[in-house]
C-alpha cells in the first residue's frame, strides 16, 4: 500500500508541472518546476490517499498505516527513477519556466488592479463611515432656541409669528391654531407660511377677529418632538361685544377627521376556523387616514393568504383564515388623526380544535427552525395547554418534502423535551415541519406547519468573492480556486458539542481550510473518554454538513468525538478530539407560579396577577385556567403562553364566582398547577360616579331655589352616597361651593340668593371611592318668586320595565302647584334621541304619576316628557327624559308568583346582575310601601321573595320591584282576585299534602315459593309512620309474615315465608310523614290469590327438586343439517358422585355422551328408523337426591320427528341431474338420506309422471330417481321433483331442452351402441385356470368355451406363437367350444399358452401357464394339477 501511495504522489507531481493556478494573494512565490522536496512539504502533514485505492474501512482498520510521510521514504522511493528522469525534467523545466514567467507577470498585473480596487473600496467605506460618524455627532432632537411669543394687534393690521428651529435630521414642522392643523390654502393672499434656514414664520396680512387664538408649532423627527405656543389677541374698534358678534370668515377650513366609533370586543375562534374583526368610524376617512394599520402583539399585519385586510369609507376589518394558536394575542387597529394616532385593541382567544382521538392532547405551537444546514435543522416548539385525558409523554416530529408531498415521521421514540435535531435531509430541498403531542391515548392533532425552508450550506456566501473591474464587469472568485493544488482536504477543526440533551448530543465543527476543491462529506468517530478505541459513529449515514446528532449514547458515560473530512480524492487525518461529553440530565419542568390573585375589572372580565418563580430563565410563558367555584370543571383560558405575570381574563359570566390557577411553560414541558386563587365574584370594579345631568328648577321663592337633577348614568359599582353643588352668577367664571355636607336626595334648596340675579349650578356625585366629575353647568335661572297660575314642571322622570314594545314611566309631582291643585298629567313622546317633534300619548290627563307606554317599535330610540295640569291649564313641561331604546335586555326576568313549600303565597324576582350595594325595592302601585304586617321580604343572593302572611282582597294590586342601583332591572305583576283564589287552593294542597305513589301494590312469587307484596312511594323522612290493615284489623311483623318499611326509598313490603289460606284478604297501608299522608289498598282475594298460592307451591316444589342435581334443560330433540337426530339434556348442581343414566323403554342406553363439566348429555342417532320410536328417560342422582326427565317419541311426537327429519332431508337435496344409460335417461336427486315419510313425485311439463312402460320412478337411501326408457324428442322439456315433508313442499327442477337434451340424447345413443357391441363381442365365457401342472409323459387337455355374434374365430398360441393342429398338438373346434390336446408332454412343453378369440365387435385373449414336472417331483403349490 505504501508503494502505491508513493507512485500516486509521483503522478500528481508530474501533472502539477503542466499547470499552475492563478493565486490572487499579496504574496508571490516563484516556482520553476516542482520537485519531490516541494511536494513533501504537503505530504508530511496532509496524506494524499486516493479514494479508488483504499476504502475508508481499510484506512480505519490498518493500525500501522504510515499517516505522515518523511523525506527518507520519499528519497528511497524516487531513487530508482532519478537517473532517468533528471535530464527529461531539466528540459521540460526550462520550457515550463518561460511559460511560468509570463503567467507570473500577468498575475502581478491582475493583482495590482485588484489591490487598487480593494484600496479604493476600503477608502470609500472609511469615508462613508466617517460621514455617518459626523452625521451621528450632529444628530440632535428638535428644539426651539427662539420660541413663539404672544402678539396683540388691532383688527385689520398685519402680524408675523416667528420661531427658530434646530435639529438634525431636519424636523417636520406643523402649525396649529386652537389645536387644529392650520390650512392656508383657502386664502393664500392673506396668509403666508415660510421656512428658511431654521426660521419659520406665519404672516397674516390683514387680521380679523377670527384669527385670534392660540397658535402652536410642533417639530417632529425620529429623535423626538418639540412644541412652542404663542397667543394672538385681535382688538376690535367696536369693542369686544361687537367684535364677537361678527361672523367668522372662512380663513381656516377644518376638515372633520374620522375617529373610532364602534370597535371590536374580545373574541374567540376555534383552531382552524376563521374570524373577522371590524371597527367603525364616526365619519368618512380623510385621505391621510385611509391606511388603517392592524397589529398583533405590536407587530403590524399585512395582506396575506391568512389575513385579509379591508378598509372602506367608514369601517375597517381584518379576516383571519385557518387560525392557529400562534395567531392568539392582542389585535389593534391604529388610525391616524390630526393629533397623532388613535388605537383600539382587543384580545383574540384561539380555542383548541376537537381532539384527533378521544382523550388525545391538543396541538403544540410555535414550531421554529434554526441552525439550518445542508442535511440538518434544529427544531424548537412550545407545549400545548391541554394534555387530554392523561399527561403529555412526549412528541413526534414530522417532515414534509414539498417535492414528494407526504408527511414522514422523524423520530421513532417520543421526544420528551420541546426541541429535536432533524438529520438526514436532502440538500437543496424545500421542507416543512410539524409536531404532534403524545399521551396514553395516542398522538394528538399536529401543530401548524413551519414555513418552507431550503436546506443549503449556510457558509456558501463566505467562500465566494466578487471583484468589480472596468466597464461594470465582475470576476467571481471562489475560495476553492485559491487553494492551488491541494486536493485532499485538511482535517476539520473546533470539534465541540453545541446541543446537549438527556437523549442526544449535537456535534459541530469548522470545515477545513483548505477544503480540497471538491464537495466535502465527513466521518464522525467516537471513543469512550480516556480510551483510544475509536469507532465510526456515522456508520450508515452520510454527513454533509458540520452538524451531527448522536442518539445512541449510554447514560453516565463520557465520550470524545473526532471528525474526518472526505472528498473524492481521499480522507483527511482525524481532527483533534473534542472535550469529553456525556448525556445531560433530564431537563426539569419549571416551577409553578405562586400567589395567584384575581382583581375585579369589569362585569365580564377579571385582572389576574401572579408571582413568577424565582428561577424563570427557562420559562417561556404561562398558561391560565379557570373554573366556577366548587365545580372543579377547569377550562383553558389562553392557548398561547403569556409572558407577563398579569393577564385580563375575558368572557366570564356576571355574578358568578371563579377560581384560577396557572402553569409555567418551558421547553421541558408544563409545570404542575399552581395553587388555586381566592374565589372572586365577577362584577365591575368600583370607581367614582359619572357626572349627574339635567339640572332643573322646581321652585323659586325670590331668595331660595329648589333644584333637582338626574342621577349619574353610572354609579361606579357603589351606591351614590351624596351630592355636592356649586353655584355662580351668570357672567362670572368662579364657582362657589353650596353645601359642605353631601345631599342625600336628588333635590336641594339653595338659599341666600339675590333676587333679580341669574344663577348657574353644577352637581357632583360621590360614593365610597370619592367625588366624581361635575355635571355640565345648568342654564341661567332667574331668581324671582313664582306666581304663575299653572303648575311647575314634574321632575325625576324614571324608566322601568323596558321591553321590546313597552316601558313604564314614573315621575314626581311638581313642587309648585299653581293657583289650584294638580288634576292630572299629559305625556308626550318623541322618536329619536334629538328630535323635537313631540306627540301626545293620551287625550285626557293621566291621574297617576306613572304610565305604561305600549306600541313601541323594538330597537327604536324614544324620549318622553310630562306636563302637569290644573284648572288654570297646562304647566311647564319637564326636561326631556334620557333617550331610551325599546329592547328587552338579555337575562331580563319577570316576577314569579307561586306557593312555597310551607304553603305561603309569594312573589319572587331574580336579578340578572348585582353589586355589593344592590338592594331589592318592593312597592305597590310603584309608590306605596309594602305593609310589613301583611307580607315580608327576604333576599338571598340575587333573588328576592315577597311572602304574604294571610292574603285577602286587600292584597290585590300591582306589585313592582326594582334594583336600588340599576333601574333597568325592574318588573311588575298584577296580583288579581283570580290569582288569589287559585293560589289559596294550591296553598291548601301544599299545607295538606298527599304522599305520592311511585308504584302501587305488586305481588311477586320467588323461586323458593316465597310471596312478596310491596309498594313504593316517594322518599319519606325519618319521621314517617306506617300502619298495615288486613281485613279491618292492624297487623304487625311475625316470623311467618315479615313487614319491612324503608323510609329512604319509600318501600313497603310484606314477605310471606309460606302463603296460606288465612292470608287471603284486603291489605291497606296507611302512611303519614309530618303533614303528608295517604293510604293504599290491595284486594288479594279470589283468583288473584289462588294463582299466587298455586305458583308459590309449584316454585317451592321446584326449589326442593333443585336442592340436589337437577335438569337445567329437560330431554329434547333436534334434527341437524346432516339429518341426524340428537336427543339432549343438561344437568347442573352436580358433583363427582353424580351419575346420569339414559333408558329407552326401561332398557339402559349406553351410547350416551356426557360432559360433566358443562352438564350436557347427548344421544346421537345418525339415521332414524322405526326402532328409534319409544319412551326415553334420563335420571340424574347422587346422595343429595335425584331428578328425572322423560321424552316420549311415540305417536304424534314421533310423527313430528319424522316431519322435521323429512324436511331436513328435503332441504339437503341437491339439484336434479341427468345420467344417460344404454336404456335411456336417469334423472336423479341426491339427499343426505331418504325416508319413506318424505313423499316424492315427478312432473314433466307440470304433469305428474306415474310408473309406465317407458318411465320408472325409484329411490334408494341417498337418491331419488326416475328412469325414462328409449327417449325421443317428445321427452324434451322441464322436469320437476316435488318432495312433501308433511307440511311443506320442496321442489327441484331440471330443464331438459335445447342443447342439453341434444347432448343427452347423443350420449344415450352412444351408450346404447356400446352396450350392443359389448353384448355381441367375442369373449371367453368359461375357461382356463391361470396355472396348470402335469407330469411328464402324460397328455394335456385344455378346453374353453366362447361366445359372440357372429361366431368368433379361435386361435391357440404357445409363447405368443400360433399352434398348428399337427403332431403332438391336436386342436378341436366346436360351436362355442375349443380344446387343445398335447400328447406325451415333455419338459420342453412348459410355457405360456393362450387362446385368442375375435369377431367384428372385439376380441379377447385368455392365458394359462403350463408347468411340466418329472416323476417324483412335486407340482407347484399354486398350480392346478392335471392327471
Neighbours of 1216 (CB within 10 A): 22
SS3 state at 367: strand
Distance from C-alpha of 1206 to C-alpha of 1286, rounded to nearest angstrom: 8
Distance from C-alpha of 567 to C-alpha of 510, rounded to nearest angstrom: 16
* Percent composition of the chain: helix, strand, coil (DSSP 3-state, to 5): 15, 40, 45
The pLDDT, as a whole number, for residue 1045 is 93
Read out DSSP for 236-294?
-TTHHHHHHHSPPPSSS-------B-S-PPPEEEETT--EEEEEEBSSPPPGGG---EE
The pLDDT, as a whole number, for residue 1426 is 63
Are 1108 and 1186 contacting, i.e. CB atoms less than 8 angstroms apart? yes
The C-alpha cell at 301 is: 399585519
The pLDDT, as a whole number, for residue 497 is 92
Neighbours of 1355 (CB within 10 A): 16
| Chain segment 41-86, per-residue pLDDT in tens | 333 333 433 433 343 334 444 444 444 343 344 455 445 556 656 6
1159: left (phi over 0), alpha (psi -120 to 50) or beta: left
The pLDDT, as a whole number, for residue 470 is 64
Query: pLDDT band for position 38 (50/70/90)?
Result: very low
To which H or E segment does residue 468 belong? strand 464-468
Residue 1052 has pLDDT above 60, yes or no: yes
The pLDDT, as a whole number, for residue 377 is 94
Are 172 and 220 contacting, i.e. CB atoms less than 8 angstroms apart? yes
Distance from C-alpha of 879 to C-alpha of 952, rounded to nearest angstrom: 41
The pLDDT, as a whole number, for residue 86 is 64
Strand partners for 466: 476
Neighbours of 287 (CB within 10 A): 7
Residue 1173 has pLDDT above 70, yes or no: yes
The pLDDT, as a whole number, for residue 483 is 63
Distance from C-alpha of 1052 to C-alpha of 998, rounded to nearest angstrom: 12
Strand partners for 1027: 1070
Phi, psi of 373 (to 5 degrees): -130, -170
Nearest-5° Cα angle at 1132, 1127 to 1135: 120
Query: What are the residues whose beta carbons fall under 8 Å from the beta carbon of 1094, sequence distance 6 or more?
Result: none
Strand partners for 510: 493
Are 1353 and 1371 contacting, i.e. CB atoms less than 8 angstroms apart? no
Closest C-alpha to 636, from 608, 662, 612: 662
Distance from C-alpha of 436 to C-alpha of 488, rounded to nearest angstrom: 44
Distance from C-alpha of 307 to C-alpha of 305, rounded to nearest angstrom: 6
Residue 5 has pLDDT above 50, yes or no: no
Query: pLDDT band for position 22 (50/70/90)?
Result: very low
Distance from C-alpha of 1187 to C-alpha of 1114, rounded to nearest angstrom: 10
> How big is the chain by its Cα radius of gyration, in Å?
60
Higher pLDDT, 765 or 516: 765
Query: pLDDT band for position 1077 (50/70/90)?
Result: confident
Query: What are the residues whose beta carbons fall under 8 Å from the beta carbon of 843, sequence distance 6 or more?
Result: none
The C-alpha cell at 1353 is: 374365430
Are 174 and 147 contacting, i.e. CB atoms less than 8 angstroms apart? no
Can you say whether the dihedral through the CA atoms of 950, 951, 954, 960 is positive or negative? positive
The pLDDT, as a whole number, for residue 88 is 66
Distance from C-alpha of 877 to C-alpha of 793, rounded to nearest angstrom: 5
The C-alpha cell at 160 is: 408675523
The pLDDT, as a whole number, for residue 397 is 95
Query: pLDDT band for position 11 (50/70/90)?
Result: very low
Distance from C-alpha of 1068 to C-alpha of 237, rounded to nearest angstrom: 115
Q: Are strands 199-204 and 159-168 parallel, antiparallel or unpaired?
A: antiparallel
* Over residues 1227-1238, mean pLDDT: 86
The pLDDT, as a whole number, for residue 3 is 35
Distance from C-alpha of 587 to C-alpha of 281, rounded to nearest angstrom: 52
The pLDDT, as a whole number, for residue 253 is 43
List the alpha helices (DSSP H) in 1252-1375.
1298-1320
Query: pLDDT band for position 105 (50/70/90)?
Result: confident
The pLDDT, as a whole number, for residue 1137 is 87
The C-alpha cell at 202 is: 406665519
Lowest mean pLDDT among 42-51, 494-503, 736-745, 1266-1275: 42-51
The pLDDT, as a whole number, for residue 142 is 86
The pLDDT, as a whole number, for residue 1223 is 86
Distance from C-alpha of 1179 to C-alpha of 1156, rounded to nearest angstrom: 14
Crossing angle for the helix pair 71-138 and 2-16, to the nearest 10 degrees: 60
Q: Are strands 1331-1335 and 1402-1413 parallel, antiparallel or unpaired?
A: parallel
- In b/e form, how buried is each residue of 751-778, taking b as 16+ CB within 10 angstroms? eebeeeeebbbbbbbbbeeebbebbebb
| Chain segment 465-512, per-residue pLDDT in tens | 777 766 667 777 777 776 666 678 888 999 999 989 988 999 999 988
Neighbours of 1191 (CB within 10 A): 20
The beta-strand segments (E) located in 886-1006 are 896-899, 905-910, 920-924, 935-940, 943-948, 957-963, 966-975, 997-1005
Residue 183 has pLDDT above 70, yes or no: yes
Q: What is the average pLDDT value for the chain, to the nearest integer?
A: 85
Longest dimension (CA), the chain: 193
**Burial level of 80, CB count in 10 A (0-12/13-18/19+)?**
exposed
The pLDDT, as a whole number, for residue 1102 is 81
Neighbours of 512 (CB within 10 A): 24
Closest C-alpha to 1084, from 1062, 1070, 1066, 1096: 1066
Q: What percentage of the chain has pLDDT greater than the value 90?
A: 40
Query: pLDDT band for position 205 (50/70/90)?
Result: confident
Read out DSSP for 287-336?
GGG---EEEETTEEE---SSEEEEE-SSEEEEEE-S--GGG-EEEEEEEE
Closest C-alpha to 353, from 384, 309, 383, 331: 384
The pLDDT, as a whole number, for residue 885 is 92
Please state, in angstroms and as integers, the Cα–Cα distance from residue 1011 to each residue in 1016, 1057, 1185, following that order: 17, 7, 26
- In b/e form, how buried is each residue of 1192-1202, taking b as 16+ CB within 10 angstroms? ebeeeebeebb
The pLDDT, as a whole number, for residue 496 is 92
Q: Can you give the length of the chain in residues?
A: 1427
The pLDDT, as a whole number, for residue 687 is 84
The C-alpha cell at 667 is: 421547553
Phi, psi of 1008 (to 5 degrees): -85, 0
Residue 1364 is given by DSSP the state: P
| Chain segment 227-257, per-residue pLDDT in tens | 888 888 888 765 443 333 333 333 334 467 8
The C-alpha cell at 1382 is: 398335447
Please state, in angstroms and as integers, the Cα–Cα distance from residue 507 to each residue in 510, 513, 537, 578, following that order: 11, 19, 11, 9
Query: What are the residues whose beta carbons fall under 8 Å from the beta carbon of 160, sequence distance 6 or more?
Result: 201, 202, 203, 204
Number of C-alpha atoms within 13 angstroms, CB side, residue 588? 6
Phi, psi of 82 (to 5 degrees): -65, -40
SS3 state at 54: coil
Model confidence pTM above 0.95: no
Neighbours of 100 (CB within 10 A): 18
The pLDDT, as a whole number, for residue 338 is 78
The pLDDT, as a whole number, for residue 1280 is 92
SS3 state at 780: coil
Residue 1287 has pLDDT above 90, yes or no: no
| Chain segment 582-636, per-residue pLDDT in tens | 998 888 899 999 999 998 888 889 999 999 998 888 899 999 999 999 998 999 9
* Over residues 1265-1279, mean pLDDT: 88
Phi, psi of 1362 (to 5 degrees): -65, 145
| Chain segment 637-673, per-residue pLDDT in tens | 999 999 999 999 999 988 889 999 999 999 999 999 9
Neighbours of 1074 (CB within 10 A): 11
Amino acid at each position: 500500500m505504501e508503494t502505491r501511495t508513493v507512485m500516486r504522489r509521483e503522478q500528481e507531481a508530474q501533472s502539477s508541472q503542466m499547470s499552475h493556478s492563478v493565486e490572487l494573494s499579496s504574496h508571490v512565490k516563484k516556482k520553476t518546476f516542482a520537485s519531490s522536496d516541494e511536494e513533501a512539504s504537503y505530504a508530511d502533514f496532509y496524506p494524499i490517499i486516493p479514494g479508488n485505492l483504499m476504502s475508508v474501512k481499510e484506512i480505519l482498520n490498518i493500525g500501522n498505516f504510515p499517516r505522515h510521510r518523511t523525506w527518507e521514504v520519499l528519497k528511497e522511493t524516487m531513487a530508482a527513477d532519478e537517473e532517468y528522469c533528471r535530464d527529461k525534467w531539466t528540459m521540460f523545466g526550462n520550457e515550463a519556466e518561460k511559460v511560468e514567467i509570463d503567467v507570473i507577470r500577468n498575475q502581478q498585473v491582475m493583482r495590482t488592479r485588484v489591490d487598487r480596487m480593494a484600496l479604493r473600496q476600503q477608502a470609500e467605506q472609511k469615508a462613508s463611515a466617517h460621514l455617518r460618524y459626523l452625521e451621528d455627532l450632529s444628530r440632535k432632537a428638535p428644539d426651539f432656541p427662539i420660541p413663539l411669543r404672544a402678539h396683540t394687534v388691532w383688527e385689520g393690521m398685519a402680524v408675523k409669528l416667528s420661531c427658530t428651529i434646530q435639529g438634525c435630521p431636519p424636523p417636520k414642522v406643523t402649525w396649529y391654531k386652537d389645536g387644529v392643523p392650520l390650512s392656508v390654502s383657502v386664502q393664500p393672499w392673506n396668509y403666508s407660511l415660510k421656512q428658511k434656514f431654521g426660521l419659520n414664520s406665519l404672516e397674516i396680512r390683514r387680521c380679523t377677529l377670527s384669527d385670534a387664538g392660540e397658535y402652536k408649532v410642533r417639530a417632529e423627527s425620529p429623535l423626538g418632538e418639540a412644541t412652542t405656543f404663542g397667543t394672538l389677541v385681535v382688538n376690535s374698534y367696536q369693542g369686544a361685544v361687537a367684535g364677537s358678534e361678527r361672523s367668522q370668515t372662512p380663513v381656516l377650513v377644518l376638515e372633520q377627521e374620522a375617529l373610532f366609533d364602534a370597535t371590536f370586543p374580545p373574541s374567540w375562534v376555534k383552531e382552524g376556523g376563521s374570524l373577522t374583526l371590524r371597527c367603525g368610524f364616526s365619519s368618512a376617512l380623510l385621505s391621510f387616514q385611509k391606511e388603517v394599520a392592524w397589529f398583533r402583539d405590536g407587530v403590524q399585519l399585512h395582506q396575506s393568504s391568512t389575513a385579509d385586510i379591508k378598509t372602506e369609507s367608514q369601517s375597517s376589518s381584518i379576516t383571519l383564515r385557518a387560525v392557529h394558536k400562534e395567531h392568539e394575542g392582542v389585535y389593534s387597529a391604529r388610525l391616524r388623526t390630526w393629533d397623532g394616532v388613535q388605537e383600539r385593541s382587543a384580545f383574540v382567544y384561539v380555542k383548541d380544535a376537537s381532539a384527533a382521538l378521544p382523550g388525545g392532547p391538543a396541538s403544540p405551537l410555535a414550531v421554529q427552525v434554526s441552525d439550518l444546514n445542508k442535511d440538518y435543522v434544529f427544531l424548537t416548539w412550545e407545549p400545548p395547554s391541554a394534555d387530554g385525558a392523561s399527561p403529555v409523554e412526549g412528541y413526534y416530529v414530522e417532515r414534509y418534502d414539498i417535492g414528494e408531498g407526504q408527511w414522514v415521521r422523524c423520530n421513532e421514540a417520543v421526544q420528551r423535551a420541546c426541541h429535536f435535531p432533524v438529520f438526514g435531509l436532502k440538500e437543496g430541498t424545500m421542507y416543512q415541519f410539524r409536531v404532534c403531542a403524545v399521551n396514553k391515548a395516542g398522538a394528538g392533532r399536529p401543530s401548524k406547519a413551519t414555513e418552507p425552508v431550503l436546506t443549503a450550506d449556510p457558509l456558501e456566501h463566505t467562500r465566494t468573492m466578487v471583484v468589480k473591474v472596468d466597464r461594470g464587469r465582475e470576476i467571481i472568485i471562489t475560495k476553492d480556486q485559491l487553494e492551488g493544488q491541494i486536493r485532499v482536504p485538511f482535517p476539520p477543526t473546533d470539534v465541540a458539542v453545541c446541543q446537549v440533551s438527556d437523549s442526544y448530543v449535537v456535534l459541530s465543527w469548522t470545515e477545513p481550510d483548505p477544503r480540497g476543491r471538491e464537495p466535502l462529506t465527513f466521518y464522525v468517530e467516537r471513543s469512550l473518554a480516556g480510551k483510544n478505541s475509536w469507532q465510526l459513529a456515522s456508520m450508515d449515514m452520510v454527513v454533509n454538513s458540520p452538524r451531527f446528532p448522536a442518539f445512541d449514547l449510554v447514560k453516565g458515560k463520557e465520550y470524545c468525538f473526532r471528525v474526518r473530512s472526505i472528498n473524492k480524492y481521499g480522507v483527511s487525518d482525524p481532527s483533534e478530539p473534542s472535550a469529553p461529553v456525556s448525556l445531560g440530565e433530564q431537563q426539569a419542568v419549571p416551577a409553578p407560579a405562586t400567589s395567584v390573585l384575581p382583581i375585579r375589572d369589569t362585569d365580564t372580565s377579571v385582572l389576574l396577577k401572579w408571582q413568577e418563580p424565582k428561577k424563570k430563565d427557562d420559562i417561556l410563558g404561562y398558561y391560565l385556567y379557570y373554573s366556577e367555584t366548587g365545580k372543579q370543571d377547569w377550562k383553558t383560558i389562553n392557548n398561547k403562553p403569556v409572558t407577563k405575570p398579569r393577564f385580563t381574563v375575558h368572557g366570564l359570566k356576571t355574578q358568578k364566582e371563579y377560581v384560577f390557577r396557572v402553569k409555567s411553560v418551558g421547553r421541558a414541558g408544563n409545570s404542575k398547577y399552581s395553587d388555586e386563587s381566592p374565589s372572586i365574584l365577577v362584577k365591575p370594579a368600583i370607581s367614582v360616579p359619572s357626572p349627574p345631568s339635567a339640572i332643573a328648577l322646581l321652585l323659586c321663592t325670590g331668595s331660595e331655589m329648589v333644584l333637582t337633577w338626574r342621577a349619574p348614568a353610572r354609579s361606579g359599582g357603589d351606591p351614590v352616597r351624596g351630592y355636592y353643588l356649586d353655584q355662580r352668577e351668570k357672567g362670572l367664571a368662579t364657582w362657589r361651593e353650596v353645601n359642605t355636607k353631601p345631599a342625600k336626595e336628588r333635590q336641594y334648596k339653595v338659599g341666600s340668593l339675590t333676587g333679580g340675579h341669574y344663577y348657574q349650578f353644577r352637581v357632583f356625585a360621590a360614593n365610597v371611592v370619592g367625588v366624581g366629575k361635575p355635571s355640565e353647568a345648568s342654564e341661567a335661572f332667574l331668581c324671582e318668586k313664582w306666581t304663575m297660575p299653572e303648575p311647575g314642571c314634574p321632575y325625576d322622570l324614571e324608566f322601568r320595565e323596558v321591553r321590546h314594545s313597552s316601558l313604564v314611566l314614573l315621575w314626581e309631582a311638581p313642587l309648585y302647584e299653581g293657583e289650584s291643585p294638580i288634576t292630572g298629567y299629559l305625556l308626550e313622546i318623541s322618536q329619536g334621541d334629538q328630535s323635537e317633534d313631540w306627540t301626545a300619548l293620551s287625550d285626557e290627563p293621566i291621574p297617576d304619576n306613572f304610565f305604561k307606554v305600549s306600541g313601541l317599535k323594538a330597537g327604536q330610540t324614544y324620549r318622553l316628557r310630562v306636563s302637569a295640569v290644573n284648572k288654570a291649564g297646562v304647566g311647564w313641561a319637564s326636561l326631556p327624559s334620557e333617550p331610551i331604546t325599546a329592547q328587552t335586555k338579555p337575562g331580563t326576568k319577570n316576577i314569579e308568583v307561586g306557593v312555597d313549600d310551607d304553603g305561603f303565597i309569594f312573589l319572587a324576582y331574580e336579578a340578572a346582575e348585582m353589586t355589593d350595594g344592590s338592594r331589592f325595592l318592593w312597592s305597590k302601585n310603584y309608590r306605596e310601601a309594602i305593609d310589613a304586617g301583611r307580607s315580608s321580604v327576604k333576599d338571598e343572593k340575587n333573588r328576592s321573595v315577597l311572602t304574604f302572611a294571610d292574603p285577602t282582597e286587600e292584597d290585590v294590586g300591582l306589585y313592582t320591584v326594582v334594583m336600588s342601583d340599576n333601574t333597568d332591572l325592574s318588573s311588575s305583576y298584577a296580583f288579581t282576585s283570580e290569582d288569589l283564589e287559585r293560589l289559596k287552593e294550591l296553598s291548601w294542597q301544599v299545607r295538606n299534602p298527599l304522599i305520592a305513589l311511585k308504584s302501587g301494590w305488586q305481588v311477586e312469587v320467588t323461586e323458593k315459593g316465597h310471596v312478596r307484596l310491596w309498594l313504593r312511594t316517594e322518599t319519606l323522612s325519618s319521621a314517617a309512620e306506617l300502619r298495615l290493615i288486613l281485613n279491618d284489623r292492624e297487623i304487625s311483623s311475625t316470623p311467618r309474615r315479615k313487614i319491612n318499611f324503608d323510609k329512604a326509598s319509600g318501600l313497603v313490603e310484606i314477605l310471606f315465608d309460606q302463603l296460606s289460606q288465612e292470608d287471603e284478604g284486603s291489605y291497606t297501608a296507611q302512611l303519614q310523614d309530618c303533614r303528608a299522608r295517604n293510604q293504599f289498598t290491595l284486594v288479594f282475594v279470589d283468583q288473584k290469590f289462588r294463582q299466587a298460592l298455586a305458583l308459590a307451591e309449584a316454585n317451592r316444589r321446584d326449589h326442593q327438586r333443585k336442592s340436589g342435581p337437577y335438569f337445567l334443560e329437560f330431554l329434547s330433540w333436534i334434527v341437524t343439517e346432516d339429518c341426524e337426530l340428537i336427543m339432549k339434556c343438561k344437568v347442573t348442581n352436580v358433583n363427582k358422585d353424580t351419575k346420569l343414566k339414559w333408558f329407552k323403554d326401561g332398557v339402559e342406553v349406553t351410547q350416551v355422551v356426557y360432559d360433566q363439566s358443562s352438564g350436557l348429555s347427548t344421544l346421537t342417532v345418525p339415521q332414524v328408523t322405526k326402532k328409534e320410536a319409544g319412551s326415553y328417560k334420563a335420571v340424574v342422582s347422587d346422595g343429595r337426591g335425584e331428578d328425572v326427565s322423560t321424552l316420549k317419541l311415540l305417536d304424534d311426537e314421533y310423527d313430528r320427528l319424522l316431519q322435521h327429519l323429512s324436511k331436513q332431508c328435503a332441504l339437503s337435496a341437491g339439484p336434479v341431474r341427468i345420467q344417460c344409460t344404454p336404456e335411456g335417461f336417469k334423472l336423479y336427486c341426491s339427499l343426505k338420506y331418504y325416508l319413506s315419510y318424505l313423499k316424492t313425485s315427478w312432473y314433466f311439463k307440470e304433469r305428474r309422471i306415474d310408473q309406465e312402460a317407458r318411465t320408472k320412478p325409484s329411490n334408494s337411501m341417498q337418491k331419488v330417481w326416475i328412469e325414462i326408457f328409449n327417449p325421443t324428442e317428445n321427452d324434451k322439456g322441464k322436469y320437476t321433483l316435488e318432495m312433501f315433508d308433511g307440511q311443506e313442499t320442496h321442489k327441484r327442477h331440471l330443464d331438459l331442452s335445447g342443447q342439453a337434451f341434444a347432448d343427452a340424447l347423443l350420449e344415450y345413443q352412444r351408450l346404447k351402441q356400446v352396450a350392443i357391441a359389448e353384448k355381441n363381442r367375442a369373449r371367453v365365457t368359461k375357461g382356463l385356470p391361470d396355472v396348470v401342472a402335469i407330469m411328464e409323459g402324460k397328455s394335456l387337455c385344455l378346453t374353453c368355451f366362447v361366445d359372440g355374434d357372429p361366431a368368433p374365430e379361435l386361435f391357440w398360441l404357445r409363447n405368443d406363437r400360433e399352434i398348428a393342429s399337427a403332431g403332438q398338438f391336436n386342436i378341436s373346434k366346436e360351436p362355442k367350444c375349443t380344446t387343445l390336446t398335447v400328447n406325451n408332454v415333455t419338459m420342453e412343453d412348459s410355457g405360456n399358452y393362450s387362446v385368442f378369440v375375435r369377431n367384428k365387435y372385439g376380441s379377447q385373449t385368455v392365458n394359462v401357464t403350463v408347468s411340466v414336472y418329472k416323476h417324483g417331483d412335486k407340482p407347484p403349490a399354486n398350480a392346478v394339477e392335471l392327471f
